Amino acid sequence: MLLSVENLGVRIGKVEPLSSLSFTLDRGEILGLVGESGSGKSLTAMAVTGLLPLIGGRIAEGAVMFDGTDLSKLPEDRLRPYRGKRIALVTQNPMTALDPVQRIGDQVDIMARLHLGLDAKAARARTVELLTRLRIPEAVTVCDAYPHQLSGGMKQRIVIAMALAAEPDLIVADEPTTALDVTVQAQIIHILGELVRERGLALMLITHDMGVVAQVCDKVAVLYAGRLAETRAVGPLFASPHHPYTTALIDCIPREGMARGSLTGIPGLVPSVMSYPSGCRFHPRCPRADATCERTIPETRTLPDGGIVSCHHPLGGDHG
Amino acid sequence: MLDYLIRRVLLLLPVFLAVSAIIFLILHLIPGDPVDNLLKVGSGPDARAKIEAKYGLDQPLIVQYGMWLGNVLQGDLGTSIITRRPVSSMIAQVLPNSLMLGGFALLFSSIMGIILGIVAAAYRDRWPDQIIMGGVLLGSTLPSFWLGLLLILAFSVQLSWFPVSGARGWESLVLPVLTIGLGGMALVARVTRVSMIDAASRDFVLLLHAKGLSPARIRLRHVLRHALIPVVTILALRIGWILGGAVTVEYVFARPGLGLTLIKALAQHDYPVVQACLLMLAIAVMLGTLLGDILQALMDPRVRSAMT
């Protein structure tokens, strides 16, 4: 297993916005990490890439096992060789992800120069080749451009090129398409999916779009308010979701033949870190909640298909 | 870029005309008549009319302005009413002193201020930051004439390292440069610190960390570059200020300079000299702004795109 997150807990100051999160991801797989805003998706990305200290957070418990090493125990200087070289990050907003005063080419070149030890010329040749592979027209000209001269979709391709440049094993993509036009979204997701199949990368795709999950992911981890609700392979998850929250998320996807106005949201809001409810954190919004849900945190159960669900009253009936 | 440069310089022309007109007019609106200073006690209106005619003071204002501007453009700044020397040679004598003092003070405050700002930002809210910011607060609140006197007491009187006053040799430059530079350093350090902290919190910095670059490299090659954009703007605006604002320091150190010349000429109602000094300062401010704009365009490609 390339990446195995075990019982991960993240602390920022006095609050613990993410607790007891576990999932695994292997080469050639795409894991979708879904949940509403504030559910801890981005924090998971920061924890895996070792960037939590930048936002004043730290891994308080659990382990991030990457290729046999527990990254959560490594000091910053031993962690840095992993960043960029073996674990790459694609951030949410391509508009602000690139250094606005540095040329595109230089920003991508540095990856090959730093991590693969190439000289300037070889690195540039690699960059041009990479950009061409990502279907960026006139890659040589683009290398001399500044970020503000490119469109959002183009910039996100540059960010992806940067992530790929040092041939990492794992790419963490934090909502890579949220800030883009719908038409461009599909292209970017397609490119990412293709890269995983071609190069045997592992991709952790953070999104709140269940449609994207259904399209490209192999498995899914559903987060709610800093805890894992359910993690399954993508087929079974959509066929028979066990957690009521998963069901609610799937019901939010618009489908063909739907009556006008029948698209439902989930009533209520994700609670803030400061005021997580007792017991199951989803209970105030859950149609199946009862007194138990208010008092006790549901234990995680392993399902026959290998998935994990954490609910007192899961759907699907066969284990309830 | 060249287009921009030409356009930017052409834009200075109307500004120059407006500024020169204001400088010319202000002096004619201030109460006080220089002719009074020149007349011998007891001379009659004939003598007054003669002197007025000699300096063109009997002409209408617009004519006086035209004459003055025409001469100025030819490098003739007139003749001092008090010393009867050509103003241009007076300016040529003191300007190098002022430029040297201002230039070195600016250099000192930029280099020291930026370094201190970087260190303070790197150790944000820890003791190095607190010490630097405490010193900066002290540096920016000490009046320069008092700081100058303190420095003279310590380094000239007690230690005899540097001369007390004058403008002869490099040694005489050290204390005045420090006196002016320390205040500027405080300002630059504060702006650098704040803008380093601000730039470090931008999105792209997170991605730079994720790319595996070392924190030192990120701080110096990326964050600092962004942080320096506002710093350069402030420094450029200070060029004019330092040239003219050094007057108290010139006074304390008895250093001939533009500021001191201006103050003396004002007290004596020596119009041509006052006008020339003000004009020099205005030109310095304009060139400073121009330099700031050019540097900003060089540092930020987005500015370059916006202007074409």
Residues B55 and B112 in one domain: no
Could you tell me if residue B85 is inside a domain? no
Of B211, B214, B302, the CB nearest to A162: B211
Q: Number of folded domains in chain A?
A: 1
Could you tell me if residue A314 is inside a domain? yes
Could you tell me if residue A227 is inside a domain? no
A197 Cα to chain B: minimum distance (Å): 23
- Write out pLDDT tens, residues A127-163: 999 999 888 889 999 999 999 999 888 898 899 999 9
A217 Cα to chain B: minimum distance (Å): 23
Residues B109 and B254 in one domain: yes
Could you tell me if residue B286 is inside a domain? yes
Which residues in chain B have Cβ-Cβ distances shorter than 8 Å to A98?
204, 207
Which residues in chain A have Cβ-Cβ distances shorter than 8 Å to B214?
80
pLDDT of residue A320 exceeding 50: no
Give the model's confidence band at B308: pLDDT under 50 very low, under 70 low, under 90 confident, else very high.
Answer: low
How far apart CA B151 and CA B109 sit, in angstroms, is 17
- Write out pLDDT tens, residues B28-66: 777 666 677 667 777 777 877 887 777 777 778 888 888
SS3 of B164, please? Answer: coil
For residue A22 the two structure tokens come to 């576990």
Residues B57 and B142 in one domain: no
pLDDT of residue A319 exceeding 50: no
Residues B57 and B116 in one domain: no
Of A51, A97, A148, the CB nearest to B209: A51
Q: For A224, phi and psi rounded to 5 degrees?
A: -140, 125
For an interface test with A, give the residue of B198, B207, B226, B303 to mutate (most A CBs within 10 A): B207
User: Looking at residues B160-186, what average pLDDT do you find?
Assistant: 79
Could you tell me if residue A99 is inside a domain? no
CB atoms within 10 A of CB B128: 13
Could you tell me if residue A201 is inside a domain? no
Q: What is the dihedral of CA A177, A179, A185, A189, to 10 degrees?
A: -10
User: Looking at residues A89-115, what average pLDDT do you find?
Assistant: 91
Residues B45 and B111 in one domain: no
DSSP A205-262: EEES-HHHHHHH-SEEEEEETTEEEEEEEHHHHHHS--SHHHHHHHHTS--TTPPTT-
Could you tell me if residue A22 is inside a domain? no
DSSP A150-198: S-HHHHHHHHHHHHHHT--SEEEEESTTTTS-HHHHHHHHHHHHHHHHH
A62 Cα to chain B: minimum distance (Å): 22
Q: Which candidate, A39, A43, A6, A25, places its Cα nearest to that of A204? A: A25
How far apart CA A114 and CA B260 sit, in angstroms, is 56
Could you tell me if residue B224 is inside a domain? yes
Residues B69 and B104 in one domain: no
User: Looking at residues B12-29, what average pLDDT do you find?
Assistant: 84
The more confident residue out of B1 and B202 is: B202
Q: Could you tell me if B214 lies within 8 Å of chain A, comparing CB atoms?
A: yes
User: Looking at residues A235-249, what average pLDDT do you find?
Assistant: 89
Alpha helices in B30-86 (DSSP H): 34-38, 45-54, 61-73
Provide the domain limits for residue A284: 238-320
The residue of chain B with its CA nearest to that of A52 is: B206
How far apart CA A286 and CA B172 sit, in angstroms, is 80
Which residues in chain B have Cβ-Cβ distances shorter than 8 Å to A77?
none
User: Looking at residues A83-93, what average pLDDT do you find?
Assistant: 90
Could you tell me if residue B81 is inside a domain? no
Residue B105 neighbours by CB under 8 Å, 6+ apart: B176, B177, B180, B181, B184, B242, B246
- Write out pLDDT tens, residues B119-172: 998 888 888 888 888 888 887 788 877 888 888 788 877 787 777 777 677 777
Residues B69 and B100 in one domain: no
Of B202, B222, B305, the CB nearest to A149: B305
Residues B147 and B44 in one domain: no
| pLDDT at residue B284, as a whole number | 86
pLDDT of residue A82 exceeding 60: yes
Note the residue count of chain A.
Answer: 320
| pLDDT at residue B140, as a whole number | 77
Burial B9-44 (b: 16+ CB within 10 A, else e): eeeeeeeeeebbeebbeebeeeeeebbeebeeeeee
Could you tell me if residue A313 is inside a domain? yes
* Contact yes or no for A231/A302 (Cβ under 8 A): no
- Write out pLDDT tens, residues B237-257: 888 777 766 778 888 888 888
For residue A248 the two structure tokens come to 């609610």
Cα angle A167, A173, A175 (rounded to 5 degrees) comes to 160
Residues B231 and B280 in one domain: yes
Could you tell me if residue A4 is inside a domain? no
Could you tell me if residue B90 is inside a domain? no
Give the model's confidence band at A304: pLDDT under 50 very low, under 70 low, under 90 confident, else very high.
Answer: confident
Residues B21 and B61 in one domain: yes
Could you tell me if residue A252 is inside a domain? yes
SS3 of A63, please? Answer: strand
Residues B291 and B245 in one domain: yes
Q: Number of folded domains in chain B?
A: 2
Which residues in chain B have Cβ-Cβ distances shorter than 8 Å to A148?
301-302, 305
Which residues in chain A have Cβ-Cβ distances shorter than 8 Å to B213?
84, 110, 114
Residues B64 and B104 in one domain: no
In one-letter notation, the amino acid at residue A9 is: G
How far apart CA A92 and CA A159 sit, in angstroms, is 10
A97 Cα to chain B: minimum distance (Å): 4
B198: domain CATH number? 1.10.3720.10
Provide the domain limits for residue B260: 95-300
Could you tell me if residue B79 is inside a domain? no
Residue A294 C-beta-side C-alpha neighbours within 13 Å: 4
The strand pairing partners of B183, in sequence order, are: none
* Contact yes or no for B281/B23 (Cβ under 8 A): no
Residue B207 neighbours by CB under 8 Å, 6+ apart: A89, A91, A97, A98, A159, A162
pLDDT of residue A177 exceeding 90: no
